[in-house]
Amino acid sequence: MAVKLGGQGDGPFLTLPTSTTDQAALAAYLCDTLGMGARWIAGTTDTSPLASMDLFSITGGLVRVFEIVGYVTTVIETQACNMQIVYDPDDGGADIDLCTALDISADVTGAIYRITGDVSDAIIDTLDIAEATPSTNEGSYMGIIMSPGDIKVTYADTNTGVIDWYIHYESIGGGTIVAG
Protein backbone atom coordinates (compact mmCIF):
# COMPACT_ATOMS: atom_id res chain seq x y z
CA MET A 1 0.00 0.00 0.00
CA ALA A 2 1.46 3.38 -0.94
CA VAL A 3 0.63 6.60 0.85
CA LYS A 4 1.27 9.94 -0.84
CA LEU A 5 3.28 12.22 1.41
CA GLY A 6 2.62 15.45 -0.48
CA GLY A 7 3.36 17.43 -3.59
CA GLN A 8 1.98 17.03 -7.06
CA GLY A 9 2.31 14.29 -9.63
CA ASP A 10 3.57 10.81 -9.00
CA GLY A 11 5.62 11.12 -5.85
CA PRO A 12 6.92 10.92 -3.29
CA PHE A 13 5.32 7.79 -1.88
CA LEU A 14 5.91 5.81 1.28
CA THR A 15 5.32 2.06 1.17
CA LEU A 16 3.95 0.83 4.48
CA PRO A 17 5.04 -2.59 5.77
CA THR A 18 2.59 -5.46 5.48
CA SER A 19 4.29 -8.15 7.57
CA THR A 20 3.76 -8.27 11.34
CA THR A 21 7.53 -8.28 11.93
CA ASP A 22 8.07 -5.17 9.79
CA GLN A 23 5.11 -3.40 11.41
CA ALA A 24 6.48 -4.12 14.90
CA ALA A 25 9.94 -2.88 13.89
CA LEU A 26 8.46 0.31 12.42
CA ALA A 27 6.33 0.91 15.53
CA ALA A 28 9.37 0.45 17.80
CA TYR A 29 11.47 2.78 15.63
CA LEU A 30 8.78 5.49 15.63
CA CYS A 31 8.27 5.23 19.40
CA ASP A 32 12.02 5.57 20.03
CA THR A 33 12.49 8.31 17.42
CA LEU A 34 9.47 10.35 18.51
CA GLY A 35 10.13 9.77 22.20
CA MET A 36 6.76 8.13 22.75
CA GLY A 37 8.08 6.02 25.62
CA ALA A 38 6.50 2.83 26.86
CA ARG A 39 4.66 0.49 24.54
CA TRP A 40 2.85 -2.83 24.52
CA ILE A 41 3.86 -5.58 22.12
CA ALA A 42 2.32 -8.96 21.49
CA GLY A 43 4.60 -11.86 22.11
CA THR A 44 4.58 -15.51 21.35
CA THR A 45 1.40 -17.57 21.53
CA ASP A 46 2.07 -20.66 23.61
CA THR A 47 0.06 -23.40 21.94
CA SER A 48 -1.10 -26.82 23.06
CA PRO A 49 0.57 -28.71 24.59
CA LEU A 50 2.11 -25.92 26.69
CA ALA A 51 5.89 -26.12 26.68
CA SER A 52 8.62 -24.02 28.25
CA MET A 53 9.77 -21.41 25.74
CA ASP A 54 11.25 -17.96 25.16
CA LEU A 55 8.48 -15.35 25.13
CA PHE A 56 10.50 -12.19 24.47
CA SER A 57 14.10 -11.30 23.59
CA ILE A 58 15.73 -8.09 24.82
CA THR A 59 18.39 -6.74 22.45
CA GLY A 60 20.55 -3.64 22.01
CA GLY A 61 20.58 -2.27 25.56
CA LEU A 62 18.53 -1.76 28.70
CA VAL A 63 14.75 -1.82 28.98
CA ARG A 64 12.32 -1.22 31.84
CA VAL A 65 9.55 -3.85 31.96
CA PHE A 66 6.27 -2.75 33.54
CA GLU A 67 4.00 -5.72 32.79
CA ILE A 68 4.10 -9.24 31.42
CA VAL A 69 0.59 -10.51 30.75
CA GLY A 70 -0.73 -13.88 29.63
CA TYR A 71 -4.27 -14.34 28.30
CA VAL A 72 -5.78 -17.84 28.15
CA THR A 73 -7.56 -18.34 24.82
CA THR A 74 -8.15 -22.10 25.18
CA VAL A 75 -8.94 -23.71 28.55
CA ILE A 76 -5.96 -25.25 30.38
CA GLU A 77 -6.10 -29.01 30.95
CA THR A 78 -7.17 -30.21 34.42
CA GLN A 79 -3.84 -31.54 35.61
CA ALA A 80 -1.37 -30.03 38.07
CA CYS A 81 0.98 -27.71 36.20
CA ASN A 82 3.10 -24.99 37.80
CA MET A 83 3.91 -22.04 35.54
CA GLN A 84 6.63 -19.45 36.14
CA ILE A 85 8.17 -16.47 34.29
CA VAL A 86 11.99 -16.38 34.23
CA TYR A 87 14.63 -13.93 32.93
CA ASP A 88 17.74 -15.44 31.30
CA PRO A 89 20.40 -12.72 30.88
CA ASP A 90 22.75 -12.94 27.88
CA ASP A 91 25.79 -12.15 30.06
CA GLY A 92 25.99 -15.76 31.24
CA GLY A 93 24.53 -15.09 34.69
CA ALA A 94 22.06 -17.42 36.33
CA ASP A 95 18.37 -17.34 35.41
CA ILE A 96 16.28 -15.01 37.60
CA ASP A 97 12.74 -15.88 38.64
CA LEU A 98 10.40 -12.92 37.99
CA CYS A 99 7.70 -14.52 40.18
CA THR A 100 7.01 -17.70 42.07
CA ALA A 101 5.23 -20.61 40.41
CA LEU A 102 1.45 -20.82 40.06
CA ASP A 103 -0.63 -23.95 39.38
CA ILE A 104 -2.69 -23.19 36.26
CA SER A 105 -4.66 -26.45 36.20
CA ALA A 106 -8.17 -26.03 34.67
CA ASP A 107 -7.83 -22.26 34.13
CA VAL A 108 -10.64 -21.13 31.86
CA THR A 109 -10.65 -19.14 28.65
CA GLY A 110 -10.36 -15.48 29.58
CA ALA A 111 -8.07 -15.99 32.58
CA ILE A 112 -5.39 -13.31 32.80
CA TYR A 113 -1.91 -13.90 34.23
CA ARG A 114 0.48 -11.10 35.16
CA ILE A 115 3.52 -10.50 37.27
CA THR A 116 3.45 -7.92 40.07
CA GLY A 117 7.07 -6.79 39.90
CA ASP A 118 7.81 -8.42 43.27
CA VAL A 119 9.76 -11.62 42.54
CA SER A 120 8.48 -13.20 45.78
CA ASP A 121 4.86 -13.02 44.50
CA ALA A 122 3.22 -15.74 42.44
CA ILE A 123 1.79 -14.83 39.06
CA ILE A 124 -1.64 -13.25 39.50
CA ASP A 125 -4.35 -15.43 37.95
CA THR A 126 -7.74 -13.80 37.66
CA LEU A 127 -10.85 -13.10 35.67
CA ASP A 128 -11.58 -10.11 37.92
CA ILE A 129 -10.79 -6.98 35.90
CA ALA A 130 -10.21 -4.98 39.09
CA GLU A 131 -7.42 -7.36 40.06
CA ALA A 132 -6.10 -7.54 36.50
CA THR A 133 -5.72 -3.74 36.32
CA PRO A 134 -2.11 -2.90 37.20
CA SER A 135 -2.92 -0.61 40.13
CA THR A 136 0.61 -1.06 41.48
CA ASN A 137 1.96 0.40 38.21
CA GLU A 138 -0.01 3.64 38.29
CA GLY A 139 2.74 6.10 39.10
CA SER A 140 4.38 4.16 41.92
CA TYR A 141 5.75 1.03 40.25
CA MET A 142 9.21 1.63 38.81
CA GLY A 143 9.39 -1.50 36.65
CA ILE A 144 12.12 -4.11 36.34
CA ILE A 145 15.28 -3.00 34.55
CA MET A 146 16.75 -5.69 32.34
CA SER A 147 19.79 -6.00 30.09
CA PRO A 148 19.84 -8.10 26.88
CA GLY A 149 18.53 -11.62 27.40
CA ASP A 150 15.38 -13.69 27.15
CA ILE A 151 12.15 -13.68 29.14
CA LYS A 152 10.72 -17.16 29.17
CA VAL A 153 7.86 -19.17 30.59
CA THR A 154 8.43 -22.55 32.23
CA TYR A 155 5.89 -25.27 32.97
CA ALA A 156 6.19 -28.28 35.29
CA ASP A 157 4.07 -30.38 32.92
CA THR A 158 2.78 -30.34 29.33
CA ASN A 159 -0.87 -29.41 29.75
CA THR A 160 -3.10 -28.66 26.81
CA GLY A 161 -4.35 -25.10 26.38
CA VAL A 162 -3.33 -21.86 24.65
CA ILE A 163 -1.92 -18.66 26.20
CA ASP A 164 -1.22 -15.39 24.33
CA TRP A 165 1.57 -13.30 25.90
CA TYR A 166 2.11 -9.51 25.94
CA ILE A 167 4.71 -7.18 27.43
CA HIS A 168 4.64 -3.48 28.39
CA TYR A 169 8.07 -1.88 28.41
CA GLU A 170 10.14 1.16 27.55
CA SER A 171 13.66 1.49 26.21
CA ILE A 172 16.00 3.24 28.63
CA GLY A 173 19.31 2.46 27.00
CA GLY A 174 18.66 1.73 23.34
CA GLY A 175 17.14 -1.65 24.12
CA THR A 176 14.19 -3.17 22.38
CA ILE A 177 12.05 -6.25 22.93
CA VAL A 178 10.87 -8.63 20.24
CA ALA A 179 8.73 -11.75 20.42
CA GLY A 180 10.77 -14.84 21.30
Report pLDDT digits (tens) over 94-113: 999 999 999 999 999 989 99
Sorted by where each begins, the domain ranges of the chain are: 1-36, 37-179
pLDDT at 19: 56
Q: What is the value of pTM for the model shown?
A: 0.73
pLDDT at 5: 41
pLDDT at 58: 94
pLDDT at 176: 85
- What whole-number percentage of the chain has pLDDT above 70? 71
Backbone angles phi, psi at 84, to 5 degrees: -150, 150
Successive 10-residue mean pLDDT values, the chain, 180 residues = 44 51 56 59 78 91 91 93 94 92 93 88 75 46 88 92 91 82
CA 172: distance to chain centroid? 17
Judge whether 175 and 148 are in contact, CB under 8 Å.
yes
Q: How far apart are CA 70 and CA 11, in angstroms?
A: 44
Q: How far apart are CA 29 and CA 6, in angstroms?
A: 22
Residue 111's alpha-carbon distances to 16, 57, 66, in angstroms, are: 35, 24, 20
pLDDT at 134: 47
pLDDT at 93: 87
Q: How far apart are CA 156 and CA 105, in angstroms?
A: 11
So what CATH class is 37-179? mainly beta
